[in-house]
Structure 1
Amino acid sequence: MFFFAHWSYAQTDRCGAVNHHRDDHRMAPVQGFESWMLEKQRVLAEQFPQRNAADPMEIPVVFHIIHNGEAIGSGKNISDEQILSQLEVLNEDFQRQNEDAINTRQQFLSVAADFGIKFVMAKQDPEGNATNGITRTQTDITSFGINSSAQTALKSLSYWNSEDYLNIWVANLSGQLLGYASWPETDIPGPGAPSAPTEDGVVIDFTVCGSNAKGNFPTIDPTYNLGRTLSHEIGHFFGLLHIWGDGGCGVDDFCGDTPDQSSQTTTSCDQLQDNPPFSCETLDQYENFMDYTPDACMNMFTADQKSRVEVVLEFSPRRASLLSSPGLVEPNFEDNAIRLVAIPSPKSVSCAAAMPLVLEVRNVGTNEVNSMMVELTFGEYEAQNTIENLKLAPGENKILSTTLLGLPEGEKELTAIVTRVNNEDNDAIVVGRLKKTILVDQSEAEMPFYTAFNSASIVSEGWIPFPENSNNQWEGGQTTDQEWAALLRSGSTMVNHLISPLILLSETDSLTITFETQRTVSGTSETDLNLWISNDCGASETLIYSANSSDLKPSEEHKKWVRHYVDISPFQEQEVRLDFACANPNGGTLYLREFRIFEKGKHQLKAELEESIILDPQKDDILPRFVLSTSGSLPIQYALVYELEEEGPIYLKLMAMDGRLLQQYQKQNTLQGSIPIDLNNLASGYYLLEINSLKGRTVKRLFQP
């Protein structure tokens, strides 16, 4: 991986982008990403051989200020003036209008580039209201690290749709970390997916936001005091690598006009001017914004870096959409304007060949809306749909069922755009765009249905984790005891779904789901697991079971798994899909295994062992009666029924076949009675039951169906 490096200047971690992507487990492989980049650069050159636009491309930004209750302008709650000074720095650096551009050395003047990008404070928020592009959120959390749970905790405090806004979170970062950024989204297949949409953006420490060259801001760090940390991190956001390639002379940043460099540059500006670094047989380009020099030493991007950014802004979905964001438009819309709020149907995962398209719309104009035209694309499907007789008053929301969509199998993006309102072109067209990724899966399973989740690939067992690009999706893994299960790690406030294949249920009035859970404890956040069922290919779902944090973790130390039972008899003879839905913000890891659906009648069990158990053959002493019984229906209940010849203790141990102790029971000063044995939280298979009394010891083998 080309990003993975760690650097310090005066004990400061200038950039955490590398560790951010390592922790996120989502960095695209080098070869895959660079192949994508080369191909898109070729396409771009063919389509637009002359790309010298007169006007810069505008990117709407929102600064999310995360503080602990300080007054505006003090501590972490930095002032509007400090934020605007940072915006000014960005526009100067990305358009090469920075005053210190005159410090670019002669050797690199010919490759210094104006990116033609202008950053604009968002003019309207996601709801269509006027905004200055700044949010302020108070929290009790005093600092944020770079691991996945810390990232989620930070970004869930305040977030705007990353397709429409460049989210910049300004907070107190733990340790000496100054910032990190998300990598751009591509269409590379396989594991190289980007961060989840809800976590896409840039994070910087509050002490490096803004420039002391543009005002007196006491909280700004004395070394990183010109706003270049954000210029550097936004470079990563647009697909730029560190100039030394995060390696030695043999590692590239894939820009021909940035000379190979042995490592990051960490010395002061005075030292650099007196003794310019020379490595890899070339002069180091330490003034590049993607190096690690102090802010005062940085002053340029290059033409090849610009070429990479142009590709990302043209072909990376969540970067390209920024250029037509509603955040760029003042909220004083035309008389006739409609905002698309949501696409409730189709659901994100569907199995139907055709599903109704349901839109939630809002009248954000000043006139009553009676008709609108929506253009739809879904894979190869394209259509125009006119909806009439709306009678939608200004400011009013409405749910509209518009048309029947044909859904070919596979994962595709559904796009809806409002093009006409009240028979007039929608001049504020940007308010009418909405996208949604939909997976159509029609694979089917029959009864009896069983999944052990005993491998790293839960998809191979017919289950679908969704959303696929979630920062913390369901996956296959092992517990601390090396037992396989489906698991959801701590760290995501997003609801993550684990969806079964279609299952054709049996014709019986007695159907039961069982599954087992285990939960490691971390933090204090609650974790709720909900099980939904759909019999209409996901158009609607019914909640059939819910378990909270205490339900998911065994209450007794000798138990490792909790078994859950859900009656689904009302759905007999129906084709259903099951959906485990869970958000796990800071609740340790949740494990799920041994999912099965069966007819209860087939599992009624009467297991009696009417036999004498010889405790000591030499003395011919016996334990007269040993009976294992069940209730005949779920849950199965076993009990040891005993009679002793003389009063005394009796001890029971339930063990795995390899001798591991699973449960133990004892009674003192007893003559007869029964001891319950709980096998319901154990997987199907054989177990050993060891019985000890004053007369001796015996071991019996048990079978759990």
Structure 2
Amino acid sequence: MKRFFIPLLVTVMFSLSSQAQQIHRCYTDQILEQLSIQNPDEFKAIKAERAKILQYNQQFSNASNKVAQYRIPVVFHVLHAGEAVGLGSNLDSMQLYSQIQVLNEDFNRFNPDSGNTPNVFKSIAGSMDIEFIMAAVDPNGNPTSGITRHNYGQISNTGTIDNSIKPATTWDANLYFNIWIADMDNGILGYATLPGTNPNRDGVVLDYRYVGSSTTNNFPGASPYNRGRTGTHEVGHYLGLLHTFQGGCSGNNASNCGFQGDDICDTPPTFSANYGCITGTNQNTCTEVPNDNPDMPMNYMDYVNDACMNLFTDGQVDLMESTLNTSRAGLLTSPGIQEVFTFEGQIIDKNTGLGVDAAKVIFITDDYEIELEANSGGYFTSNAFIEANYNIYAGKWGYMTENYATNQLIDKNTPNIIISIEDGIYYDDFIMDFGWSVSGNATAGIWERGVPVEATFNGDVTQPNFDIASDFGQKSWVTGNTAGNAGANDVDDGTMILFSPVFDLSGMNAPVLSYARWFYNGGGNGTPPPALDDELTIRITNGTDNVVLEIVDADELNTNQWKDRSFNLNDYLAPTDNMRLYVETSDFAIAGHIVDAAFDGFKVEDSDPTAIEQTEIINGLRIYPNPSSGYFHIDIATIKDVRSLEIYSVTGQLIYSESNLSKGLNKIDVSELEAGMYIVKVNAAKKVFQDNLILH
């Protein structure tokens, strides 16, 4: 490829005498010119990427390589100055949808003005079979409108957008097509990045005045650029197209048209950009051999008014498809284009069959996780579920985590699921967030829940790159969970404390606590290094007594590996309903020691299961009046450890729930319930009391 970009000031900048401000119809070439000076390596990478696209394009087979339809997930990043949505640059969703409509019309040649294409060009007018859609799922697997909004004030400097705003707001450019909307107030209508650009800056920028079409929703765009064709033009660049006037009259014969000018043979070379409105075929600024054609100013990659543009060519479509099959291929498998659907289920107690309030369920793939929390009836719902194969786990603090399914396909036809979990066991492998907390005064090395990543010091592994094998998932708690040199984020100059939620062991006969821990202490400043004096301390409290279970220090060999530990808690303190576990790691001195720790596989269960009462269903409650109308009284004075009162329909649907109950007589308002029969349940420790209630 002899020529990539041309002297820019000659062909790209222009001033309209009717406008006081200089208008830059497209600023893409200037951005590239700046890049060639400021970052020549990236500029070379863009040229190299284009060479790959052109090579692919030469081998492209329309019959064998086209996909049925290209679907592109778009995210609009609306940059505003605090205006309300719909005012100024803070465009409302309808105007953004209008731009999507324009793109889909123009790229598929559904545009209403396609009939204006001169007859000489109609046979080569291209249709791409592409659909631009608003991203439905964000990079974290959450539902999205495909619109983000950021208050950055008025922006007139493209450098600020490219170097500061884009990196702070972009979604993964390999998976999403990022479009920024801004009030640039400097005459720039828009600009784009070509394939091969740094992903932190990759995408299209449009001035808000030129977004969407005034013909579809009467948006007050700035005439004559009010039909959304600035977006069409810049998206063409994003998909690999150059200006039709790129290189002037170079590439004017069959032997060089594929690698000179705009690198496309069915777009006639044009000496310079065209402005205003040129609709006919009388203009011919370059001579082609062997077949000479008039200029094509109505091509979307020229500079005429929006109303006077109406086509891409077949050759341009082929090049854009080649881009999508190479440099932009990640867009075609983005989670943003996946169909989303509503998926529901319930988490129930294995013994009682009742829904478990605030239980959690997590759906895990190789790429993302979806964690949901159940309501008071144990029901969970996601309105933006994605078809995939999932590993599914459910649990709650005070319950055993259940591995419901492994590699199970869930799609829009999958029926609701019911997951049973077992009460009476405190278990946490940290696959879900059950509410552990962190405190401390160290300057670095905070406890983090996540997939551990390896850190090293002088060849020693100070931090694991895996969790324990005996639990679910891959997460654990790790201090300063950062890969690389341990000294960059280990515990420094203080203590970091990880502590559990409160757990109730008052009903256990012989509770046994087990967990796995990791600790590393090494290094130090000075010759020889000062003695190792840092520790990992694990202690437990019952609300009154505070007992140290173990202190791990350098005297213990091979601590930098997962070590399983187990304790009969009756040997240390009296179990109560107010237990907590504390995991403290400390860097005591300023001697520069490396301190890293990890914790996983927490579990407390009764070592004498025969002493655990099974949940007992007891019929009969003191309810009056019954039948009743509007309200009833219920006496629970003789029921110990009452947790909640629930009212169910005869079909098993939870209608009412109350956990704030007095120890004696309670008045329950049921005035909003319809007449009929209901089931009243009082949930207590290992017992459920129930009776029928009739409402008039």
Q: Tell me the TM-score normalised to structure 2 length.
A: 0.48
> Whose Rg is larger?
2
Q: Tell me the TM-score normalised to structure 1 length.
A: 0.48
